[in-house]
Copies of this chain bind each other. A is one copy, B any other.
Amino acid sequence: MAERQPYGRGGRRPTLEQVAARAGVGRGTVSRVINGSPRVSERTRAAVQAAVAELGYVPNTAARALAADRTDAIALVVPEPERRFFAEPYFSDIVHGVGLVLAETEVQLLLTFAGGDRERRRLGQYLGAQRVDGVLLVSVHADDPLPDLVDQLGVPAVISGRRSEDEALSSVDSDNFGGGRVAVEHLLQRGRSTIAMITGPLDVYGARRRHDGCRAALAAAGHRVDPELVEQGDFTEEGGRRAMAALLARRPDLDAVFAGSDVMAAGARLVLREAGRRIPEDVALVGYDDSVIARHMEPALTSVRQPIVEMGREMTRLLLDEIAKRPEDRSAPGRRSQLVLPTELVVRDSS
């Protein structure tokens, strides 16, 4: 193999045409080899590959994108400021899952933050500019117009979680209903009978489903669902404290609490401790998310785990499938895939 050119200082890179000349074939043939078309003889293929290696040829992405109308790149759009993105292990796991699928392809992942208003507006431009073949949307709020914008632009997209019962976009969610149910079933099995619930904001779809699953488990066990034992939080630690205080005031006899997130469980724990309740002896506590704090809490928190890495994988698979279809074959709105992955209870010391 000949020495490869250092292209530095503005030297131009070899083109298809030059590879073709070197290999003594036509442009079309080289293109076929590069793209792995089967309609090339073994001899020719070898000659072309040799020429590619000698010249250190790499296809120009821009030219390919322009001619073929595809970029071989997808974007992960994070509608949050960078800080939050890095702070939450959720994103890390999603990216990891995405990466696992993309590693087997030639598709590149672009991370895009759209935290601020300005960046938000620019995103439309960005997608309109056909920089990417598709979009992965994570951490989308119920009232976020972004998904609909993306959909209207005709850009294939998959959303993590869903915004409501009838999500218009393709989505991958975890089984929030099952998660809530299994948490409460676990508490019942532990012999608890007066089970309180700190929910997330009930206009958030996932939070409502956790709540529904919880009620379902109680009903299935023949328990009455007592409104006095339900208090709404806001996914913050402070919200968890407030909710716990209210529950304790109304029902000092409660012997278990299911919180819709680990962070709220952490808040609840503080209030319980201040009230002199031992965990789990007096009150069993179960959280949701299986986050880092669950493991580090004292006592370690029983929590419901979502398969986040797996969600990242499935989102990516779904998106690549959608992209692979020709535009006219793409699923019509309303007939998109809605995937729901199972959750799992991780039992620790708090229950």
A binding-site residues for B, Cβ under 8 Å: 6-11, 13, 56, 58-63, 65-66, 71, 82-83, 86-87, 89, 91-92, 95-96, 99, 103, 108-113, 116, 118-119, 125-126, 128-131, 151-154, 326-328, 330
Contacts and interface: CB of A to CB of B under 8 A. Distances in A.
A40 to B, nearest CB: 21
A129 B7 CA distance: 12
A109 B11 CA distance: 25
A60 B129 contact: yes
Contacts of A125: 58
A82 B99 contact: yes
Given A9-B327, A62-B65, A96 B111 contact: no
Contact of A86 (B10, B89, B118): B89
A116 B102 CA distance: 13
Contacts of A103: 116, 118-119
Given A60-B130, A66-B63, A103-B118, A9 B154 contact: yes
B99 A131 contact: no
Contacts of A58: 125, 128-129
Contacts of A63: 62, 66
A86 B62 CA distance: 30
8 contacts: A6-B153, A9-B328, A10-B328, A86-B86, A99-B113, A103-B116, A109-B111, A111-B111
Given A82-B92, A153-B8, A328-B10, A62 B66 contact: yes
Given A10-B328, A60-B129, A83-B92, 18 more contacts: A6-B154, A7-B152, A7-B153, A8-B151, A8-B153, A9-B330, A10-B326, A58-B129, A59-B129, A60-B66, A62-B130, A86-B86, A86-B89, A87-B92, A103-B119, A109-B111, A110-B110, A111-B111
A112 B103 CA distance: 12
Nearest to A71: B62
A62 B13 CA distance: 18
Nearest to A86: B92
Contacts of A151: 8
A57 to B, nearest CB: 9
A26 to B, nearest CB: 21
Given A66-B63, A86-B86, A103-B119, A6 B152 contact: yes
Most buried by B among A86, A91, A113: A86
A106 to B, nearest CB: 8
Contacts of A118: 103
Nearest to A58: B128
The 7 closest A-B pairs by CB, nearest first: A10-B327, A58-B128, A62-B65, A86-B92, A8-B154, A62-B66, A111-B111
A151 B6 CA distance: 9
A95 B126 CA distance: 19
A235 to B, nearest CB: 21
Given A58-B128, A129-B58, A95 B99 contact: no
Contacts of A153: 6-8
A172 B131 CA distance: 30
A103 B95 CA distance: 23
A99 B152 CA distance: 28
